[in-house]
Structure 1
Amino acid sequence: MADFVLYGTPGWGSALVEAQLEFYGLPYRFETVGNLFTDAAAREKLLAVNPLAQVPTLVLPDGQVMTESAAITLWLAGHTGRDDLVPTTGAPEQAAFLRWLVYLVTNIYPTFTYADDPARFVSAVSVQAPFKAAIKAYRERLWSIVEGAAGAPWFLGERLSALDLYVCVMHHWSPRGEWFAAHAPKLNAIATQAKALEPLRGVWSRNFPEA
């Protein structure tokens, strides 16, 4: 089987897909891009594959390019024919899985798009700091909603899913672990358990060596 090629930067959104490739045991090559906000060469490298210059960008073995982590999550489950990360049609957890997967990528994930480089959206320097502060507060409120829906020991209850991998990765981003421990204990516990999954230890150490 030909390798997948995952364009990414350690610790960034590419970790969401890297974890799934590892979990499924799929052959892949990680193509390090670099900091897309500060390195023009990194942006040029990725623009040749993805016109939005965003990670994750996944090149399939047949050469097709996939972007958008939720789409990749669903595609990988179909490609492998497995349901251990994505509930299949008819599974009682499927509706909740789809709801919260899309919630994470359409509500919480975009807050980083806005706050990581506010100059793209707010031109006046004087309002960029308040803009970032408002986004941070909004992000915390969004996470509080997720906390209210989370089950135990995993997000969907007794079964592991890709949602738990998302929580584990995003737990490392703002507002970070201390906030989750204080304000979202169920999500914090899910992240801690996901970090201990044996097949993913290498992924976590490569992406979050300080954790």
Structure 2
Amino acid sequence: MYTLYGTDESGSCMIEIALQRCAVPWHRVDASSWHEGEGSEALARINPLKQIPTLVTPDGQVLTESAAILIHLGLEFPDANLLAGNRAQILRGLLYIAANCYSAIGIIDYPQRWLGDAGESLQTQLTTGTRRYLHQAWVVFADQFADQLFTPDNIPNALGIMAAAVSRWDEGREVLRSLAPGFAHALERVDADPVVAPVFARHWPQWQVS
């Protein structure tokens, strides 16, 4: 059985969706770096950074980094079609999100990790500039990857799942609705997928599409 360490409103939602698509037994241990408890203590023992999602495979391998986990599951379970489509562009897109969007959100959420005890003014300057970069990165992503979110059978692939999840943070969707409305609509199609929708609803019960 797979063991997924994560919590609601986090990147673990992507891996929950992927595991369901793979039709494998799994369970989630509630854990994160910002919550204390047995789950977080167990997570720290296998991932000292306490990053989520962290996935432990049935043979005991520890997998971290959302893009890497999605790629592993896509290769391990090809019938799940997580990598179906233009695989080169799907892989490129997954790493694009990890490098440009996910990483920027980490800076916005935790500026003190980079600035230490710097004053509030400097932290605000960093988060404001990083958020500006994040939103521009989403606009570029929309231009580059608009046709890569679905399998040939119109099922969200790993890139569609990751884009739909990560764009929910830090006003990504609002920016895309304004500057790339066609792409925002494609993300809403991912949201509505019958496997994706219940997971997102559990993670973001108050989410409303405007």
TM-score (ref. length: structure 2):
0.87
Q: Is the 8 A contact 1:150 1:186 kept in 2?
A: no
* Residues 157 and 15 of structure 1: CA distance in aligned 2, closer, same or farther (over 3 Å): closer
Does residue 143 in structure 1 map to residue 138 in structure 2?
yes
* Residues 113 and 47 of structure 1: CA distance in aligned 2, closer, same or farther (over 3 Å): same
Consecutive unaligned residues in structure 1, runs of 5 or more = none
Does residue 55 in structure 1 map to residue 48 in structure 2?
no
Structure 2 residue matching 1:174: 3-state secondary structure: coil
- Residue 19 (structure 1) aligned to one of 11, 17, 20: 17
Match of 1:67 in 2: 64
1:1-211 equivalences under 5 Å are: 3-34=1-32, 36-37=33-34, 39-41=35-37, 43-82=40-79, 84-87=81-84, 93-123=86-116, 124-125=118-119, 126-152=121-147, 155=149, 158=152, 159=154, 160-211=156-207
Structure 2 residue matching 1:11: 3-state secondary structure: coil
TM-score (ref. length: structure 1):
0.87
**Which segment drifts farther, 134-143 or 159-168?**
159-168
Q: What are the Cα deviations for residues 12-62 of structure 1, in whole angstroms up to 9, with x where unaligned?
A: 11111111112222211011115x23x354653421121211001001111
Counterpart of 2:199, as a letter, is V
The alpha-carbon deviation at position 201 of structure 1 amounts to 2.6
* Residues 157 and 22 of structure 1: CA distance in aligned 2, closer, same or farther (over 3 Å): closer
CA distance in 2, matches of 1:130, 1:121: 13
Counterpart of 1:140, as a letter, is H
Identity of aligned residues (%): 28
Q: What are the Cα deviations for residues 125-171 of structure 1, in whole angstroms up to 9, with x where unaligned?
A: 2300111000000101111111111335x636855421110121112
Counterpart of 2:158, as a letter, is A
The alpha-carbon deviation at position 186 of structure 1 amounts to 3.0
Q: Is the 8 A contact 1:107 1:142 kept in 2?
A: yes
Matched pairs, number: 202
* Residues 32 and 40 of structure 1: CA distance in aligned 2, closer, same or farther (over 3 Å): closer
